[in-house]
Amino acid sequence: MSHAQTLEGYNFAYLDEQTKRMIRWAILKAIAVPGYQVPFGSREMPLPYGWGTGGIQVTASIIGQDDTLKVIDQGADDTTNAVSIRHFFARTTGVKTTERTESATLIQTRHRIPERPLQEGQVLVYQVPIPEPLRWLEPRETETRKMHALAEYGVMHVKLYEDIARFGRIATSYAYPVMVNGRYLMSPSPIPKFDNPKMDNMPALQLFGAGREKRIYAIPPYTKVESLDFDDHPFEVQKWDDCCALCGAQDSYLDEVIIDDAGGRMFVCSDTDYCEDRRAQGHYGPLGQAAE
């Protein structure tokens, strides 16, 4: 798409250059202090708060003419909100967009990390609804900032203790808190805990934007990210008895799909690109073969 076809009357990527610079400063600070939530002057965007304004502002501030953008929601490129955000950037920047994880330089995501391992040079931008991992235990921002400053994180383990006492295991299945670089407790945004291990030592840069709460945080490439646990109850990820019905994958996060009103259901990869890629390479699940 040429520049002429982009939205008239608006700057490249919607935000003015001053605002983008302000956001990039916040991003740089966030990278310098991994896991620390940097307050920033979040702007109103033409999309509503809670629908990805933080991620959009981060993406808008770092996207350039040569970038290739991928946008996913729930792991998929074709969910309505992902379509809407991809359109927004296509209209305001005219950059190339893609659904292929390996072709993207910049990936904006809500609730997932792609299955295909990310590489050096790629940037993953998370949309974050509640950046504060301690929020459910302590509602006051003044108090949680103090807790971070003093690294007072005992109360987070109280919650995990309580889970084990009640359920015999840690019952947090998404937005599972992590310790970044051994210093800051951080919310990975509501990704399933299945994705947590991918954050550890990731070659790509991870940026987190929370628009309504006006916070940016980051994990620089190759940074230690540990999921909280107890010595005698180590962190574990979800496992399925089924494989993906379409591509047969046994190592991916599966969505459950109801296929009739008699309780019939099947499981398919949440990461649509990963699933298609596998099928293109000749991997099929129980229902995938018939489709081709």
Partner 1 sequence: MYVAVKGGEKAIRNAHRLLAEVRRGDLGVPELSVAQIKEQMSLAVDRVMTEGSLYDRDLAALAIKQARGDLVEAIFLLRAFRTTLARFAISTPIDTSKMKAQRRISATYKDLPGGQVLGPTFDYTHRLLDFALMAEGEVPEVEKMDASDVAMPRVTDMLDHEGLIEREIVDDEAPIADLTREPLDFPAERNLRLQNLARGDEGFLLAMGYSTQRGYGNSHPFAGEIRMGEVEIEIVPEELGFAISIGDIFVTECEMVNQFKGSATEAPKFTRGYGLAFGEAERKAMAMALVDRAMRARELGEEIKAPAQDEEFVLYHSDNVEASGFVQHLKLPHYVDFQGDLEMVRNLRAEQKQTELKMAGE
Partner 2 sequence: MMTIDINAAPLLSVQNLGKDYGNLVACTDVSFDLWPGEVLGIVGESGSGKTTLLNCLSAQLAPSRGAVIYDTRVDGPRDILEMTESERRLLMRTDWGLVRQNPRDGLRLGVSAGANVGERLMAVGARHYGDIRAEAANWLQKVEIDVGRIDNVPSTFSGGMQQRLQIARNLVTEPRLVFMDEPTGGLDVSVQARLLDLLRGLVTRLGLSAIIVTHDLAVARLLAHRLMVMRHGRVVEQGLTDQVLDDPQHPYTQLLVSSILQP
Q: Catalytic positions, please?
A: 35, 244, 247, 269, 275
The option from partner 2, partner 1, none interacting with 162 (CB < 5 to 8 A, set by class) reads partner 2
- Indicate the burial class of 105 (C-beta count within 10 angstroms; 0-12, 13-18, 19 or more): buried
- Closer by beta carbon to partner 1, 81 or else 181: 81
**Alpha-carbon distance 287 to 72, whole Å?**
24
Among 120, 141, 162, 236, interactor with partner 1 by CB under 8 A: 141
- Selection from partner 2, partner 1, none that 290 binds (CB < 5 to 8 A by kind) is partner 1
Of the pair 128, 156, the CB lying nearest partner 2 is at 156
Chosen residue from 175, 179, 204, 225 binding partner 1 by CB under 8 A: 175
Number of residues that bind partner 1 (CB under 8 A): 68
For residues 212 and 142, what is the distance between their CA atoms, to the nearest angstrom? 17
Residue 2: burial class (beta carbons within 10 Å; 0-12, 13-18, 19+): exposed
Region binding partner 2 by CB under 8 A among candidate stretches 70-78, 107-115, 145-153, 268-276: 145-153
Question: Is position 74 an interface residue for partner 1 (rule: CB under 8 A)?
Answer: yes
Taking the complex as a whole, how short is the minimal distance between the CB of residue 96 and partner 1, in angstroms? 17
- Evaluate whether 266 touches 281 at the Cβ level (below 8 Å): no
What strands lie across the sheet with 225-227, from one edge to the other?
184-186, 178-180, 225-227
Q: Which is nearer to partner 1, 140 or 203 (CB)?
A: 140
Judged by CB under 8 A, does residue 286 bind partner 1? no
Alpha carbons 155 and 132: distance in angstroms, whole number: 14
Minimal distance, residue 175 CB to partner 1, in Å: 8
Residues with Cβ within 8 Å of residue 127, at least 6 apart in sequence: 52, 54, 55, 56, 108, 109, 110, 189, 209
Q: What b-and-e string marks burial along 177-199, b requiring 16 or more CB atoms within 10 Å of the CB?
A: bbbbbeebbbbbbbbbbbbbebb
Which C-beta is closer to partner 2: that of 70 or that of 148?
148
Of the residues 102, 152, 255, 276, which one makes contact with partner 2 according to CB under 8 A: 152
Name residue, tokens 């979040």: 42
Q: Which residues contact partner 1 by CB under 8 A?
A: 10-11, 14-16, 19, 22, 39-46, 48-51, 53, 73-76, 78-84, 110-112, 129, 140-142, 167-168, 171, 173-175, 190-194, 212, 214-215, 238, 245-246, 253-257, 259, 266, 268, 270, 272, 287, 290-291
